[in-house]
Structure 1
Amino acid sequence: MATSRSQESPGGSGTGAIELRNVTKRFRTPDGGAYTALRDLDLTVAPGEFCAVVGPTGCGKSTTLTLVAGLERATEGQVLVDDSPVRGIGSGIGFVFQTDAVLPWKTVLANVAAGPLFRGEARKDALAAARDWLRRVGLSGFENHHPHQLSGGMRKRVALAQSLINEPRILLMDEPFSALDVQTRSIMSDELLALWEVTRPSVVFVTHDLEEAIALADKVVVLTAGPATVKDVFTVDLPRPRTVQEIRFEPRFVELYQQIWESLRDEVQVAYARTATLAK
C-alpha cells in the first residue's frame, strides 16, 4: 500500500506534466505596496495524474492555477508545462472556472463547438464532435437550448464538454462544483471521473471540500495559510474506478480524511485568527 503522506519534496526533476519550482507570486496593492500570495512553492503533477489542492480561504489556490494557465507570471521561480517554461497562455490547457464561462447568446451546441472552430476545424467536424461530447455528458436533446434554459448542473456539464472537446493535456478546475447542491455535486463528480478516464489529462482541482478532494484525486496537496507553500502531499490509495458517494464509506477514506484534516486544520485556524484580528 502506498504511503499516505509524502515526506519528499513535491518539486520534481523534469518528469512531471506540471512543475512549479520555488515559485513566489506577488501582487501590487492599491496603496503601492506588495502582497505575497505564494512563497517558495514546489509542486509536481505527473502526466495523467489527478491532483486536488486544498487550503484555507485566500491562501493562493486559484493563483496557482492562473500561473499554470499562463494568465499570470511568477514573480520568482519557474512554472513549467511538459518541461517548457510557461510564458503565456498555451495550447493544450483547459480551464473550468467556478462561475460558468458559457456564452449566453449561443446555443449549447455552439458553445461546445466554439473551441474546435476557433482552432480552424471544419464546421461540420466541429459540430459533430460537439454533439458527441454533449452525448457523453448526458445533454443529447439540449443542443439548441441556451444556457439560461438549463439548470446549474446542466451548465456545468456544458462547461466540461467545452473543455474536454479540445482534448487538453492539462485540465485546471477552480472549485467548479461549489455552487451546486450536494446531490448534484456528487453526480457531477462521478461524471467528471468517467470523462477523465477517457483521455486522462493531468488535472489540478482546487476545492474547499476535503471529501470531494479525496473522492476524486490521486493525491491531495495541502497549502499553508498565505503566503501559500506546500505543507503536505497525501497519496490517495483508493481503488479506481470510484463512485463518489460509495467511496466515502470505505475505512481507508475515513482514515485519509482524518490524516489530511489534521494537516489542514492548523492552517484554517491560522487563517481564521488573522481574519479575526483584522476585523477588530
Structure 2
Amino acid sequence: MPTQETPDGPAIELRGATKRFRSSSGGVHTAVRDLDLTVDSGEFVAVVGPTGCGKSTTLSLVSGLEPPSGGEVLVHGAPVGGIPEGVGYMFQTDAVLPWRSVLDNVATGPRYRGAGKREARAKAREWVERVGLGGFESYYPHQLSGGMRKRVALAQTLVNEPSILLMDEPFSALDVQTRGLMQDELLRLWSGTGTARGAAVVFVTHDLEEAVVLGDRVVVMTAGPATVKASFDVPLERPRDAEEIRLTPEFLDIYREVWESLREEVQITRERGADRAA
C-alpha cells in the first residue's frame, strides 16, 4: 500500500498560538500562550510537561477541534479552519464502539469516508492483521483485554491513512508490560512499510521514559499556560526495542538531560497546587 502523498514543507506549524477558555466562574483561563512548534513530515515528536499545562490543548489546536484565540496553526502550510484532511487522532480513552465487532470498528472510518462495505472491511481486515489481532475479527470489545482494545484503536486510526498522527497519552492506562508491547507495536508500524510510514507524529505523554523511547525529538512544555521551554534531539538509532533501549548509557544520558529541564516545571506546578490548597 503506498504512503500518502504530502506537500513539501513542515507538516505542522504553530506560530505564537494562544488558547483561552472562559472558566466556570466567568473568568478567562489561558491554556496555551505564544506557542511556537514545528513538526516535519516523517518526524516523531514526543511532548512532555507538567499535569494540566496544556499539552492536550495543543493537540486540539492542531486537530481543529479547538480554534486558536491568537496566533496561527497550520497543517501542511494551510491554516486550520476545521478538522484537516489526513489527521488521525488517538485519544487516551479508546473510541471503540461496544456494539460492533473488531472488524466493523476498524471499518467505521473507511465507511464514513465513502468506501463501500466490502472495500471498507477489506481495508479493516488488513489493519487488524497488522496490529496483531488476526483471528479476533469477530470479537466484541468486552471480550478483549486492555492491550487488545488499544490495538483496535490503533488500527482504527491508521486504517484512514493519516499523514499526521496525534496521540494523547494513548497507552497511559495500560500496565507496564503491555505498555512496552504497544510502544514496540507503534514503532514497528510507524517505521515499517505502508501508510503509517512517513506520518508526522505528535505523542503527548506524562512518562518521560516513553517519550525518549519513541521520539526523534522530545519537547518540554512549561507549567501552564503552556509554551515550549526546550527541545531535545534523541540520538538513539532506529529501529529501537522499547525495553532494550532503556538499558543503554545513551538512553540514560538523554533522559537525564531532558529531566533537568522538565523537573523545574513539575516543581512549579506542585508549588502552585500547594498554594491553592493553603
Pairwise TM-score range, normalised by the shorter structure: over 0.9
AA aligned opposite 1:61:
K
State which of 235, 250, 260 in structure 2 corresponds to 1:237: 235
TM-score, normalised with respect to structure 1: 0.94
Q: Do residues 259 (structure 1) and 253 (structure 2) align?
A: no
State which of 40, 44, 50 in structure 1 corresponds to 2:44: 50
Matched ranges for 1:107-146 at <5 A? 107-146=101-140
Q: Do residues 29 (structure 1) and 23 (structure 2) align?
A: yes
AA aligned opposite 1:278:
R
Task: Report the Cα distance in structure 1 between the residues aligned to 2:243 and 2:24, rounded to whole angstroms.
Answer: 45
Task: Report the Cα distance in structure 1 between the residues aligned to 2:175 and 2:159, rounded to whole angstroms.
Answer: 26
State which of 221, 224, 229 in structure 2 corresponds to 1:223: 221
Task: Report the Cα distance in structure 2 between the residues aligned to 1:170 and 1:133, rounded to whole angstroms.
Answer: 17
AA aligned opposite 2:254:
L
Task: Report the Cα distance in structure 1 between the residues aligned to 2:93 and 2:81, rounded to whole angstroms.
Answer: 26
Q: Do residues 161 (structure 1) and 159 (structure 2) align?
A: no
Task: Report the Cα distance in structure 1 between the residues aligned to 2:258 and 2:25, rounded to whole angstroms.
Answer: 37
Which stretches in structure 2 are left out of the alignment for 5+ residues? 1-7
SS of equivalent residue, structure 1 residue 248: helix
Instruction: Name the residue aligned to 1:183.
Output: 177
Shift of 1:200: 2.1
Instruction: Name the residue aligned to 1:171.
Output: 165
AA aligned opposite 1:162:
Q
AA aligned opposite 2:117:
R
SS of equivalent residue, structure 2 residue 247: coil
AA aligned opposite 1:252:
E
Shift of 1:89: 1.1
Task: Report the Cα distance in structure 2 between the residues aligned to 1:91 and 1:147, rounded to whole angstroms.
Answer: 28
AA aligned opposite 1:251:
P
Matched pairs, number: 267
Shift of 1:15: 2.9
Instruction: Name the residue aligned to 1:7.
Output: none
AA aligned opposite 1:248:
R
AA aligned opposite 2:223:
A
Instruction: Name the residue aligned to 1:271.
Output: 269
Q: CA RMSD in A?
A: 0.9
AA aligned opposite 2:268:
V
Runs of 4+ aligned structure 1 residues displaced above 4 Å come to none
AA aligned opposite 1:237:
P
Which stretches in structure 1 are left out of the alignment for 5+ residues? 1-13
Shift of 1:125: 1.4
Does structure 1 conserve the Cα–Cα contact (< 8 Å) formed by 2:75 and 2:84?
no
Q: Structure 1 stretch 120-129 or stretch 171-180: which is displaced more?
A: 120-129
Task: Report the Cα distance in structure 2 between the residues aligned to 1:125 and 1:241, rounded to whole angstroms.
Answer: 32
State which of 71, 83, 102 in structure 1 corresponds to 2:96: 102
Q: Output one character per residue of 1:102-137: Cα deviation in whole Å (capped at 9) or x when no partner.
A: 111111100000111111112111111111111111
Shift of 1:249: 1.2
Instruction: Name the residue aligned to 1:5.
Output: none
AA aligned opposite 2:159:
I
AA aligned opposite 1:241:
P
Shift of 1:31: 1.7
AA aligned opposite 1:205:
F
Task: Report the Cα distance in structure 2 between the residues aligned to 1:78 and 1:66, rounded to whole angstroms.
Answer: 13
Q: Output one character per residue of 1:58-83: Cα deviation in whole Å (capped at 9) or x when no partner.
A: 00000000000000010000000000
Matched ranges for 1:200-215 at <5 A? 200-215=198-213
AA aligned opposite 1:179:
A
Task: Report the Cα distance in structure 2 between the residues aligned to 1:244 and 1:130, rounded to whole angstroms.
Answer: 27
Shift of 1:277: 0.8
SS of equivalent residue, structure 1 residue 196: helix
TM-score, normalised with respect to structure 2: 0.95
AA aligned opposite 2:28:
A
SS of equivalent residue, structure 1 residue 26: strand
Task: Report the Cα distance in structure 1 between the residues aligned to 2:209 and 2:116, rounded to whole angstroms.
Answer: 42
Kindly, what percent of the aligned residue pairs are identical? 65
Instruction: Name the residue aligned to 2:78.
Output: 84
Shift of 1:37: 0.5
Task: Report the Cα distance in structure 2 between the residues aligned to 1:52 and 1:253, rounded to whole angstroms.
Answer: 15
SS of equivalent residue, structure 1 residue 244: coil
